[in-house]
Chain A
Amino acid sequence: MIEFRMPSLGADMEDGVFVEWRVDAGARVERGQVVCVVETQKGAIEVEIWDAGTIARLITEPGQRIPVGQALAIVAADGEDWQAVAAASVAATPAPRAAPETVPSPIATPRAAGAAPASQAPVARPAAPARLPPRASPAARKRAAELGVDLDALAAVTGGAPISVADVERAAAAPAPPPSPPTVPAAAPAAAVPASQSPEAAMRAAIAAAMARSKREIPHYYLGTEIDVEAAQQWLERYNAAQPLAGRVLFAALALRAVALALHEVPDLNGQFADGRFRRSEAIHIGVVTSLRGGGIVVPAVHDADRLALPELMASLRDVLARARSGRLRSSDLADSTITVTNLGDLGVETVYGVIYPPQVALVGLGRVVARAVVRDGAIVAARTMTATLSGDHRVTDGLTGARFLAALRERLAHPEAP
């Protein structure tokens, strides 16, 4: 028996509103298949399943607000009888559904690309616990631990509603309530997100929460350098001249690949900072800051950017941007970036010093490509240049590391033909 749970689509996500199932009980599902849609602050997300099997029982119904980590459905593993699993799961879980204590962290979530970690073996739900743990998102649990807030006590006040980071922070800021009788709902926090909030306001709130956390927790340092990209531009123009329209590669893809390959040489910028320490990531999943036409941004990932040949990377970037722009992102697009690139493209300004997206530890800013007079071999020549910046987390690296990265990026862009 496998529990299919509400995924975490970024460290700032606490819950999501369930929209619809794309499968019925009895349906066979494969790894990576979209099985439901969840409305989040980042818009409606198509949620994939990472275990193959047969849907035994759909637990969640449309309209329900579900904390990250709570079971949405029960899935029968290969070799199990799905109807028996469904019956057993009903017997094992009386009316209230408990949020599991632990949730797979985003970085541990298997993805479609690459080999699946074998360690994701489902853990059978124990028989109904004597006492339900308070319902709280992982982010809220973490914040509660940091601030010393007692989640059990808070749960008593919220009356069983899912506990959000905002609830925790409000509880920490409030004077310690007197040991009041449980009948007094002392300053009961309101729901974190009013149901009437518009999608735009919800997205703004999500961006605000992530960026405020970043500036609160991450001591940023900032570096910038102008890079001569004339050789890269000319190489790409020659490449594209031989391509049909649909095969053309944009400079953004070339630059993204250069970032990924430069990270090979400076791996301490690639990973996630969690539980007080940095965990380097072997895989390079680059979050690409994407502006939406209706306002706001999403940061979907281009997975394994260092392992994709240029045309593949372009195709991957094209796919993910199309999904972002059409509001059809998938859970795997949002779960596990290890670094972020913000690319102001050819309409933007020349320099951006970005805010790191927690729990990542670095953000690369690529500015507009401009024509400049540069000195080459003692002569002044016209060349296209781009200002690249690095925002780094000073808890993890120093300016020297960041400088090494920018130098590696410069070297990659000087030799675009290198594999």
Chain B
Amino acid sequence: MTATPAEIRQAVIDSVQAIAPEADFTALDPHRPLREELDLDSFDFLNVLIELHGRLGVEIPEADYAKVGTLDALLAYVAARLDAG
């Protein structure tokens, strides 16, 4: 499966907003911890990952949570996983 960076970004935004409809990505600092920026607790975050898996087919293991801490890091991680097939 291939996806452009814009498509990945949109899938992430859609996944977050499915859980936290008020999440404002225009005001978000992509280098700051994503969950704190968007006020996502551990339940919210797990639900976002389930949404994202549904959209892009990427399942992020717990062991990789440290690699997806910011929006930029999450986008890069997903892109790399999709490239790897």
Contact A245 B43 (CB under 8 A): no
A317–B41 alpha-carbon span in the complex (Å): 14
A335 within 8 A of B: no
B83 within 8 A of A: no
Q: How many residues of B contact A (CB 8 A)?
A: 19
Contact A245 B41 (CB under 8 A): no
A248–B20 alpha-carbon span in the complex (Å): 20
A321 within 8 A of B: yes
Contact B62 A248 (CB under 8 A): yes
* Residue of B20, B41, B59, B60 touching A345 (CB-CB under 8 A): B41
Chain B residue numbers with a CB within 8 Å of A251 are: 42
- Shortest distance from the beta carbon of A250 to any chain B beta carbon, whole Å: 5
Contact A250 B43 (CB under 8 A): yes
A118 within 8 A of B: no
* Residue of A237, A246, A345 touching B50 (CB-CB under 8 A): A246
- Shortest distance from the beta carbon of A33 to any chain B beta carbon, whole Å: 27
Chain B residue numbers with a CB within 8 Å of A398 are: none
Q: Mark A234-249, 1 if CB is under 8 A from B, else 0.
A: 0001001100111010
Q: How many residues of A contact B (CB 8 A)?
A: 17
Known contacts A248-B46, A321-B43; A237/B63 CB under 8 A: yes
A293 within 8 A of B: yes
Q: Mark A333-372, 1 if CB is under 8 A from B, else 0.
A: 0000000000001110000000000000000000000000
- Closest B residue to A321 using CB positions: B43
* Residue of B40, B46, B60, B63 touching A250 (CB-CB under 8 A): B46
Segment 25-49 of B: residues with Cβ below 8 Å from A: 35-36, 39-43, 46, 49
- Shortest distance from the beta carbon of A354 to any chain B beta carbon, whole Å: 17
Segment 60-78 of B: residues with Cβ below 8 Å from A: 60-63
Known contacts A245-B53, A248-B46; A293/B41 CB under 8 A: no
A318 within 8 A of B: yes
Chain B residue numbers with a CB within 8 Å of A245 are: 46, 49-50, 53, 59-60
Chain B residue numbers with a CB within 8 Å of A293 are: 20-22, 39
- Closest B residue to A239 using CB positions: B62
- Shortest distance from the beta carbon of B77 to any chain A beta carbon, whole Å: 15
- Shortest distance from the beta carbon of A171 to any chain B beta carbon, whole Å: 43
Known contacts A246-B50, A293-B22; A345/B42 CB under 8 A: yes
Segment 129-178 of A: residues with Cβ below 8 Å from B: none
Contact B22 A347 (CB under 8 A): no
Known contacts A245-B49, A245-B50, A347-B35; A252/B42 CB under 8 A: yes
- Closest A residue to B60 using CB positions: A245
Contact B62 A237 (CB under 8 A): yes
Chain B residue numbers with a CB within 8 Å of A246 are: 50
A136–B54 alpha-carbon span in the complex (Å): 51
A52–B46 alpha-carbon span in the complex (Å): 38
Chain B residue numbers with a CB within 8 Å of A240 are: 62
Contact A347 B61 (CB under 8 A): no
Known contacts A245-B49, A347-B36; A250/B42 CB under 8 A: yes
- Shortest distance from the beta carbon of A296 to any chain B beta carbon, whole Å: 15
Segment 191-233 of A: residues with Cβ below 8 Å from B: none
A244–B57 alpha-carbon span in the complex (Å): 12
Q: Which A residues have a C-beta under 8 Å from some C-beta of B?
A: 237, 240-241, 244-246, 248, 250-252, 293, 317-318, 321, 345-347
Pairs across A and B, CB under 8 Å, 28 listed: A237-B63, A240-B62, A241-B61, A241-B63, A245-B49, A245-B50, A245-B53, A245-B60, A248-B46, A248-B62, A250-B42, A250-B43, A251-B42, A252-B42, A252-B43, A293-B20, A293-B21, A293-B22, A317-B43, A318-B43, A321-B43, A345-B41, A346-B41, A346-B42, A347-B35, A347-B39, A347-B40, A347-B41
Chain A to chain B: the 8 pairs with minimum beta-carbon distance, closest first: A345-B41, A250-B42, A240-B62, A245-B50, A245-B59, A245-B53, A346-B42, A321-B43
A241-B62, A346-B42 are known; give 8 further A-B pairs, CB within 8 A. A237-B62, A245-B46, A248-B46, A248-B62, A252-B42, A293-B39, A345-B42, A347-B39
